[in-house]
Amino acid sequence: MVIKQFSYRGKTLEELQKMDVKEFMQCVTSRKRRTLKRNIVEQYKPLIEKIRKAKAGLRKKPIKTHAREMVVLPEMVGLTIHVHAGKAFVPIIITEEMIGLFLGELTMTRSRVEHSAPGIGATKSSTAAATKAK
């Protein structure tokens, strides 16, 4: 059995991790390239520094961020990043397949709504039962 090796746009994970952010920008789609080009300097700099410290083993706290529009970079692979989903931070373990996606694509912002049984007055038969009980 042959194990399929991961590649992103023809590059292996090791090649991607050796790349600088500017070189990686040439591998992603134009939408993500524009996002990185615009926001890498001022908005994402603290997040990238936290990621590099965590990779080096200097950071013990979990990495929390509100930057849902941040593109998953190759240097994030293997880390757990807590992304804000509107109410709470959702932990995400970054894998190779997530490279090039936005962090917001990996967390759901809407929770599943589950209702209990209908109350008195919700249906015609329950209103009739309520009037007989009086």
What is the full DSSP assignment across 103-131?
GGGGS-SSPPP---S--TTSSHHHHHHHH
Task: Please give the model's pTM, rounded to 2 decimal places.
Answer: 0.76
pLDDT number for residue 91:
95
Residue with token string 């970054």:
94
Residue 56 tokens, joined:
């080096």
Contact 28, 99 (CB under 8 A): no
Structure tokens at 119: 């109350």
| Euclidean distance between CA atoms 31 and 25, whole angstroms | 10
pLDDT tens series, the chain, 134 aa: 778 888 888 888 888 888 888 888 888 899 988 888 887 767 888 888 999 999 999 988 999 999 898 899 998 999 999 999 988 999 999 999 999 999 999 998 888 888 887 777 777 776 665 566 56
> What pLDDT, on the 0 to 100 scale, is given for residue 134?
60
The fold of the 13-109 domain, in CATH, is: 30s Ribosomal Protein S19; Chain A (3.30.860)
Phi and psi for 129 in degrees, rounded to 5?
A: -70, -35
Q: Where are the domains of the chain?
A: 13-109
CA distance 52 to 59: 9
Please give the biggest Cα pair distance in the chain. Answer: 77
pLDDT, residue 120, reads 75
pLDDT at 54 (0 to 100): 92
